[in-house]
Chain A
Amino acid sequence: MARAITTQKKIMWTVLSWGIGLLIFFPIMWTFLTSFKTEAAAISDPPVWFFFDWTLENYSAVLERSNYPLALMNSIVIALGSTLLGIIIAVPAAWAMAFVPGKRTKDVLLWMLSTKMLPAVGVLYPLVLIAKYFGVMDSRILLVVILMLINLPIIVWMLYTYFREIPGEILEAARMDGANLKNEIIYVLTPMALPGIASTILLNIILAWNEAFWTIILTTVNAAPLTKFIASFSAPEGLFYAKLSAASIMAIAPILIMGWFSQKQLVRGLTFGAVK
């Protein structure tokens, strides 16, 4: 009897959750479907759902036309570059703070976090000015550096929380055995820290890929990543829904897949350990 009621309830919760889940996911689903329609089918009245002539022409049109490949390449270089640069700077810092905590470690961590909260418009013009002065406007290197800087606090913070979970006794045992700092890092710490570092890299690639303030303002063509490329679709040119959809799906698909694998890291990385 009790069991029957729970199954019944379970089915009810299942239906309700799937309904709401599909509703929330619908815009992405609709974009996905539209990307396979012809432009005419994309705006047909009433809308067509599944029964249309599926075509890949939008994808090839987007890939051939315009500078989509360049934008894709820019996105990859900027997201990977800024993340790796950030990791190189952050790993030693997070390691030191986790294993050799001093009196001011907490203050340093909080201060780093506070830089993340600086509104971008507060430093907008100086950055444009500095970029122009060094002749790096619309260059990949500029965005690599800037996105590294805005995500560095999150990288340090995430690595710190991962490193802190590594038991200190293991390090002490290594030190007893006469391992010096270099060996300690290479043979003891790195193998244990790799999962945490990988998670951090994953989340930061996602954040950098989707960053849409500096990438829009500081690029025009040469270094424009997908965020900027897609924004250029905002001026409609005739029938363009299907192509917009194809371009959008290509821009979000890799990150969507990575994102699904990083749900847990997301909570850790964006709440700074305040929610567990």
Chain B
Amino acid sequence: MATEHSRSSARLMIAPAVFVLLVWMLVPLIMTLYFSFADYRPLRATFETWIGFDNYASFLTSSSFLSSIGTTLWMVGSILLITILGGVLLALLLDRPMFGQGIVRILVIAPFFVMPTVSALVWKNMFFNVDNGLFSYLFKFFGAQPFDFLSQLPLFSIVIIVAWQWLPFATLILLTAVQSLSSEQLEAAEMDGAPALSRFWHIILPHLSRAITVVILIQTIFLLSIFAEIFVTTNGAFGTRTLTYLVYQRVLESQNIGLGSAGGIIAVILANIVAIFLMRIVGKNLDN
């Protein structure tokens, strides 16, 4: 029913948002692409505009790249595993009849609203610290040797911190999905004598599969760019240097702009692969 007049004013209304996002996406990205083919090291006053794919070659073949990919996969993978498994269990639990459901929900969701630097510092000092951390007291209480988490198990420690922040997100989304499950279907299965495990496997899990996929994709996109938690705890040392952190160090710490930009472009390509899958799901949903 839209008239030609409203069409054109609609276009006018969309224009500012499209324009700023287009500029935001294109200008810096083209600059990064340009730098990625240059030998640009401001500290040494080197600037050669075209060195072909040298940066990509040296970035991709450096041992720090391979180990950063390994670290990234471990970190993102284990956080996903913890948050999805924990999230499904918690969502099912919170869906049960209980007293004070609203308050439990509030307790569970809270960590998601804590700013990353605060959660990283609180965990680092008040829990992981070998001298005064709570875990050290706990270990001593059980007669074990206190343990320096951040230098002994740095990757694991960061995984714990970030998983703590994202578990609420997974739980909340999965709980929303669980609550949309028709209870009639479940009751019918229960009447027919289907045991709890098979009800979970054949009814609940298939119903949750879409929500789980969405959680995996969205978290992956956010987790690929984890920064503050690493910055505050290990600063990339002890094998906790992810791809994001490696690029940050190349660009801002060692000021090798060319090399860092090549790494940035590689990070963009990898993130896009994940994004395509997410877009498909979201796009399908738009149609109905």
Q: Which positions in A face B, CB cutoff 8 Å?
A: 6, 9-11, 13-14, 16-18, 20-22, 24-25, 27-28, 30-31, 34, 43, 45-47, 89-90, 92-93, 95-97, 99-100, 102, 106, 108-110, 112-130, 149, 152-153, 156, 172, 181, 206, 209-210, 212-213, 216-217, 226-228, 230-231, 233-234, 236, 241, 244-245, 248, 251-252, 255-256, 258-260, 263, 266-267, 270-276
When C-beta atoms are compared, the residue in chain B nearest to A184 turns out to be B6
Contact A46 B141 (CB under 8 A): yes
Q: Known contacts A244-B125, A276-B180; decide if A226 and B115 are in contact (CB<8 Å).
A: yes
Residues on the A chain within 8 Å of B60, using CB: none
What distance in Å separates the Cβ of B139 from its nearest Cβ neighbour in chain A? 12
* Distance of A55 Cα from B147 Cα, bound (Å): 31
When C-beta atoms are compared, the residue in chain B nearest to A44 turns out to be B132
Residues on the B chain within 8 Å of A156, using CB: 17
Contact B123 A27 (CB under 8 A): yes
Interface string of B248-288 (1 = CB under 8 A from A): 10011000010011011101100110110011011101110
* Distance of A181 Cα from B10 Cα, bound (Å): 10
What distance in Å separates the Cβ of B277 from its nearest Cβ neighbour in chain A? 11
B13 at the A/B interface (Cβ < 8 Å)?
yes
Residues on the B chain within 8 Å of A270, using CB: 169, 173, 218
Interface size bracket, B side: 35 or more
Contact A149 B6 (CB under 8 A): no
B100-118 at interface with A (beta carbon < 8 Å): 100-101, 103-118
Q: Known contacts A10-B99, A108-B14, A267-B172; decide if A113 and B282 are in contact (CB<8 Å).
A: yes
Residues on the B chain within 8 Å of A256, using CB: 110, 113-114
* Distance of A231 Cα from B121 Cα, bound (Å): 8
Contact A275 B177 (CB under 8 A): yes
Contact A125 B14 (CB under 8 A): no
Contact A110 B282 (CB under 8 A): yes
* Distance of A58 Cα from B263 Cα, bound (Å): 43
6 residue pairs A–B, Cβ–Cβ below 8 Å: A100-B2, A119-B271, A125-B264, A227-B115, A234-B232, A263-B172
Residues on the B chain within 8 Å of A10, using CB: 96-99
Q: How many A-B residue pairs have CB under 8 A?
A: 303
Interface string of B179-216 (1 = CB under 8 A from A): 01000000000000000000000000000001100100
* Distance of A117 Cα from B29 Cα, bound (Å): 13
Residues on the B chain within 8 Å of A117, using CB: 221, 271-272, 274-275, 278
* Distance of A231 Cα from B252 Cα, bound (Å): 18
Contact A149 B21 (CB under 8 A): yes
B25 at the A/B interface (Cβ < 8 Å)?
yes
Contact A13 B115 (CB under 8 A): no
B144 at the A/B interface (Cβ < 8 Å)?
no
In the complex, which of the residues A106, A125, A251 has the most CB atoms of chain B within 10 Å of its own CB atom?
A: A125
Residues on the B chain within 8 Å of A96, using CB: 9-11, 13-14
* Distance of A271 Cα from B112 Cα, bound (Å): 15
When C-beta atoms are compared, the residue in chain B nearest to A236 turns out to be B125
Contact B211 A275 (CB under 8 A): yes
Contact A27 B127 (CB under 8 A): yes
Residues on the B chain within 8 Å of A93, using CB: 13-14, 16-18
Q: Known contacts A125-B32, A259-B113, A275-B214; decide if A230 and B252 are in contact (CB<8 Å).
A: no
Q: Known contacts A27-B123, A31-B126; decide if A267 and B99 are in contact (CB<8 Å).
A: no
Contact A260 B106 (CB under 8 A): yes
